[in-house]
Structure 1
């Protein structure tokens, strides 16, 4: 799983740069033909990783439940984001992956609740969750690139 986490960390660094370098107005715009914005996609990958890896393992997620509720699958952006919320997500982009690596090395991921994703992929253990998370984050990075082209 070490390699998956290294790849995820690099992707998160890329997302962090997008978050830091894109004007807030553009982060929050939803182009015609899209259901979400850059901001939502970035926050969504943070909370989804926590759900897939921690929650399905029966562990406490490292992000606030309110953040999960706002950006989990099935949610839509409300067109707003406070500076504090953006800073929190920016910090979580990198720290959640560092914590996952530390927790994995400490042997915390002992159990897993099998789950079939909306992409019809069945996750049976934390390794499957980390693998699927890479795929999921790639989809959302692609969405971000498409949105940026429309701005």
Structure 2
């Protein structure tokens, strides 16, 4: 079952990476009316949250560049950026590398109990690494839908 779930993670992530590699960089910093964030923020946020849901919940060291939290962490927004964020190419590389790290890290840890249950903003608690991994697919898809909506709004 773990291999099926990891394969599904690869499928979800391949959709994300295909999308990031087809969107023109010059439109990724536009925040259309009705949105709080832009396309770049959503892609970076996917990487940041995936890292938290796999490594941080177990108390493990994360491997993302340090600046990802200030650019893409929960509650951040492009309007507050004081420095230049990572390029789409950099975020794409981080997403691809992250997938490979997770594929190596998760086996035999899927049922690992979290030291402290993780409760998301909706009040849902997770108790194992497998639960947070599965939730990460929903989170990624939700942000991919937001990216599609922003792209469509910009394109119209």
TM-score for both structures, normalised by structure 2: 0.85
1:133 corresponds to 2:119:
no
In structure 2, the partner of 1:66 is 67
1:148 equivalent in alignment to 2:144? no
Mapped contact 2:53–2:132 kept (Cα < 8 A): yes
Residue 103 of structure 1: aligned partner: 105
Return 99-108 or 130-139, whichever deviates more. 99-108
Which structure: greater helix fraction? 1
Deviates more, 1:139-148 or 1:66-75: 66-75
The runs of 5 or more residues in structure 2 that have no matched partner are none
Q: Secondary structure at the match of 1:95?
A: helix
Map 1:13-92 to 2 at 5 A.
13-78=14-79, 81=84, 85-92=87-94
- Structure 1: distance between partners of 2:93 and 2:111: 23
User: Which 4+ runs in 1 deviate beyond 6 A?
Assistant: none
Q: Distance in 1 between matches of 2:89 and 2:151?
A: 21
Structure showing the higher strand proportion among its residues: 2
Q: CA deviation at 1:85?
A: 3.9
- Asked if the contact 1:2–1:101 (Cα under 8 Å) also holds between the matched residues in 2, the reply is no
DSSP 3-state at the match of 1:70: helix
The DSSP-based 3-state class of the residue aligned with 1:28 is: coil
Are the counterparts in 1 of residues 111 and 130 from structure 2 also a CA contact under 8 Å? Answer: no
Structure 1 residues 135-144 or 9-18, which shifts more? 9-18
Deviation at 1:121, TM superposition (A): 1.4
How far is the alpha carbon of 1:138 from its aligned partner?
1.1
Deviation at 1:131, TM superposition (A): 1.0
Deviation at 1:70, TM superposition (A): 1.8
TM-score, length-scaled by structure 1 = 0.87
